[in-house]
Structure 1
């Protein structure tokens, strides 16, 4: 199918969106959350509980402990095992569809327990279009084998996950990512970024990046992709709501041309354990950031989501669930001067443009 490095013929995916159930027309997507997890494990990010909190960290998840869990989600080991909640996630997806949701991009990659057969089952049983992610998460989850791979080998694996299927299945990924980077970006992560760019060049597919927790991280990841030939206009930078806070720095990054994703809606905590210098914004502040970017002319580049990756954010455990944006954030956006057309662009048109293979 591919002739020579960097040159591509037109794959069957061209002009389509690739879901776990097969190819669909871009117009079938509907409202789309571009950064979610439906089944994963996050043990790689476990944070030891504070002295005196060991009992809470080991206790079953209960309503009386909910506030502690919301403030310390990564110190409760069971909370990090979202893959145990398939039935609860199924119910969430049915509610999401009832609320007007159409599609979800499932960002679980190699290293955090991607489960494509479960994603296919969820898509069949709920009617929600699910797009799976190819590639690798952050360095701490890379196997020794992965670290030893060349860029060429990594490229071949990523391309195969999109063209033929991943994890020994025939279920094909429809995006590359979330590709994980730390700060500073490690050598293994740089190889994966370069492989991502090479695979994207061959496939014409969407890419999504997880930046390290430093204001320089998004720009550095984009620079590496760019130098390796990646298509930045078809690349999403995730987690900007916990990474770039200064408006001028945000605008400087926006000029690089990627999609700008605010994907932690529903997450409000006093102390962000992965970078204590960060003051995690509220949902109201996230909406203000969206309004600012729209005023600055970037409404075509904004994407939003919840990035649910722990149990406590499911409604089963008192969380906001996958319908929070549709039920609560959209009315807030409208009340703050963002128009319905702009909301539709962020939820429907921008995801459609990003997810369609060239």
Structure 2
């Protein structure tokens, strides 16, 4: 099945090296009261993406959704200008970032809205999302509106076959998310559990992997949360346990200060520093190709509807 990009569907083999969880045009400043969280300078983002592309990057999964400053037209322009595949998203993030007009919505309203965007285009455009995400739970809990959002996202995923990519606040609630998907009967090969490199309980992450879901180690370079050496150690464990077919990598840039031009890690941090570290620790080229290409190709392909 194809992968839906902002310029239309592509075959999975066209995906290439893929960053599984990024933000190219995002604004969280209205909630965080910090202008650094407004990353909406298209020119600077394009310059940073050029470095990702120079190291072989071919595709970005862009998980900025409604309430986070989403702009599909900007994404399409970046895709055209840079000759990069960009996958846009539908859905909402988590409390308190859910737009005011949706804060009292039911799961059915969320499902109907997401399904409409998937079938007809985002916010009145003809640009269709290729992923439902990032759908989030709060720190160690599901707020009531987040529960409605998750159920709506599950129904939209069931109806359309789109992959569902989640946010776990500091890695928490991963097991709870998996249990919800199992209870609701959503196939776990359609699910990407996010931010598990922020989950320091490797046992929980291994349980998530055992369930069959994809696991995103997607905050690489954010060493204020956790050192990349710790992330590397965890990844090496997951690989040793045999889960090389379910792991995805990215860096989740959300701030101006994350750009290379402001001294940050940049969109190329995985390719520039993390992958060479993997090679130094003996991870084979074939496994690295799975992490960067083969696994995203499977994870973000549209699934057969059930």
User: How would you bin the TM-score normalised by the shorter chain?
Assistant: over 0.9
Partners of 1:78 and 1:177 in 2: CA distance: 23
Quick check: 1:252 aligned with 2:207? yes
| Equivalent in the alignment of 1:211 | 168
| Equivalent in the alignment of 2:12 | 26
| Equivalent in the alignment of 2:298 | 353
| Equivalent in the alignment of 1:233 | 189
1:181 counterpart (137, 140, 149): 137
The Cα shift of 1:142 comes to: 2.0
1:122 counterpart (60, 70, 78): 78
Q: Counterparts in 2 of 1:291-330, with a 5 A limit?
A: 291-330=236-275
Deviation string 1:232-269 (CA, Å, 9 cap, x unpaired) is 21111111121x21332332232222111111111112
- Cα contact 1:99–1:323 (8 A) shared by 2: yes
Partners of 1:252 and 1:190 in 2: CA distance: 22
- The answer for unaligned runs of 5 or more in structure 2 is none
Partners of 2:121 and 2:163 in 1: CA distance: 16
Moved more, 116-125 or 219-228: 219-228
The Cα shift of 1:347 comes to: 0.2
Partners of 1:317 and 1:214 in 2: CA distance: 27
2:288 counterpart (334, 339, 343): 343
| Equivalent in the alignment of 2:147 | 190
Partners of 2:185 and 2:100 in 1: CA distance: 27
- The answer for unaligned runs of 5 or more in structure 1 is 1-14, 48-76, 270-279
Q: What is the TM-score with the length of structure 2 in the denominator?
A: 0.95
> What is the aligned-residue RMSD (CA, Å)?
1.4
| Equivalent in the alignment of 1:106 | 62
The Cα shift of 1:43 comes to: 2.0
Q: Counterparts in 2 of 1:278-293, with a 5 A limit?
A: 280-293=225-238
The Cα shift of 1:45 comes to: 5.3
Judged with a 3 Å threshold, the aligned counterparts in structure 2 of structure 1 residues 313 and 214 are, in CA distance, closer, same or farther, namely closer
- Cα contact 2:163–2:302 (8 A) shared by 1: yes
2:102 counterpart (141, 146, 151): 146
Partners of 1:110 and 1:228 in 2: CA distance: 24
Q: Secondary structure at the match of 1:320?
A: coil
Partners of 2:286 and 2:180 in 1: CA distance: 34
Partners of 2:97 and 2:45 in 1: CA distance: 24
The Cα shift of 1:44 comes to: 5.3
- Cα contact 1:44–1:140 (8 A) shared by 2: no
| Aligned positions, number | 302
Q: Secondary structure at the match of 1:208?
A: strand
The Cα shift of 1:23 comes to: 0.6
Partners of 1:214 and 1:351 in 2: CA distance: 20
Q: Secondary structure at the match of 1:205?
A: coil
Structure number with greater Rg is 1
| Equivalent in the alignment of 1:72 | none
Partners of 1:160 and 1:88 in 2: CA distance: 32
Deviation string 1:123-163 (CA, Å, 9 cap, x unpaired) is 00000100001101112022343132222221111111111
